[in-house]
Chain A
């Protein structure tokens, strides 16, 4: 699993930071936020495809983590624990949004991104205009394909492929069995393979 900190830093002091947080030390919590904010933001963004909403949900997730940090018993890593909060917050948000917009909001989001010149589909490094356009299109295709998955299927495919989490970690994060994770992964992959075959065949 990737974090912003080096594994040694994370292993040595994470528990210590958590204990300090449990004693009310906000600076220790700030340190944990610094370590995980980018990965958490990225995960949420990949699930919902809206930068502003991903920002807000990441904030909400950290606030919830702070409120409930005293209940963290250290049976799993802090990252797995906070990831569970992140997933609950994000999946709840997606379900509410799908109920409100009958599931069409992500197509709109993709279309908006396509016309937004400052969107994050633009690569960070300097690239030739045609490359930029190609990457932007690929990104839009991927986002559109992911938007067709259920929140749970999005979660497993992203956790597996971008976070490279283990089955048991995903199961713990989502509060389900390993079998359920594997089954969801099966269907999520099948669907994305069908939707993105022409994209990954040409890279």
Chain B
């Protein structure tokens, strides 16, 4: 269903025909005024065509030359653009890999530190024993052997010849 505006435009441009034309013209309240407006619209069209239709592009050849230059530049630029895109992509990938490697290194480092930390705690205990061993006045014939099963986190100390346990150890 056409709106009034659509029918009016079609009527002005001579695009209405047959029953549609008869129906539309019958619906006009003042046909003489409508016809006058149609003539106005035609005059407007003539005016616009006369005044606006004659614009000529000056320096046509320069226009084409400038366009050719732009297109030539464009045909050279894509590799650069592509390189820029690749570079950006590499940067993102590099960031990703750098992050991943950093995380992996951190995890490896953390595991080693954790593993090292336990022996360090044990070493404090061992130090007390060993300090006691090196005091010939207390334990002249003392020997200490250490057996460690890292998988099971077990350390066995085998001591012989100790005259007495260190005071700190005894306290614990």
Contacts and interface: CB of A to CB of B under 8 A. Distances in A.
B3 A183 contact: yes
Interface in A123-168: 123-124, 135, 138-139, 142, 157-158, 160-162, 167
Interface in A21-50: 26, 29-30, 33-34, 37-38, 41-42, 45-46
A174 B67 CA distance: 25
In this complex, which of B47, B52, B68 has the most chain A Cβ atoms within 10 angstroms of its Cβ?
B52
Given A41-B63, A62-B67, A189-B41, A182 B51 contact: no
Nearest to A2: B53
Contacts of B50: 203
A157 B47 CA distance: 12
A16 B12 CA distance: 38
Contacts of B156: none
Contact of A162 (B12, B52, B66): B52
Interface string B68-84: 10111011000000000
Contact of A179 (B3, B15, B55, B74): B3
Nearest to B10: A182
A66 B41 contact: no
A120 interface: yes
Nearest to A45: B55
B5 A46 contact: no
B5 A187 contact: yes
Contact of A193 (B37, B60, B63, B70): B37
A196 interface: yes
Given A29-B71, A199-B47, A142 B5 contact: no
Contacts of B74: 63, 66-67
Please report whether the interface of chain A is mostly helix, strand, loop or mixed according to DSSP. helix
A197 B51 contact: no
Interface in A95-143: 120, 123-124, 135, 138-139, 142
A201 B6 contact: no
Contact of B68 (A26, A37, A55, A183): A26
B9 A185 contact: yes
Interface in B24-70: 37, 40-41, 43-57, 60, 63-64, 66-68, 70
Given A30-B68, A59-B67, A38 B57 contact: yes
B161 to A, nearest CB: 92
A38 B56 contact: yes
Contacts of B43: 200-201, 203
A183 B12 CA distance: 12
A37 B51 CA distance: 19
Interface string B5-24: 11011101101000000000
Contacts of A192: 44, 48
Nearest to B41: A189
Q: Which 4 A-B residue pairings sit nearest by Cβ, starting from the closest? A: A186-B5, A42-B55, A182-B9, A182-B6
23 contacts: A30-B64, A37-B60, A37-B63, A37-B64, A38-B56, A38-B60, A42-B56, A46-B52, A46-B55, A58-B63, A59-B66, A59-B67, A63-B71, A124-B54, A139-B51, A158-B52, A182-B6, A186-B5, A186-B6, A187-B5, A193-B40, A193-B41, A201-B43
Interface of A: 26, 29-30, 33-34, 37-38, 41-42, 45-46, 55, 58-59, 62-63, 66-67, 120, 123-124, 135, 138-139, 142, 157-158, 160-162, 167, 179, 182-183, 185-187, 189, 192-193, 196-197, 199-201, 203
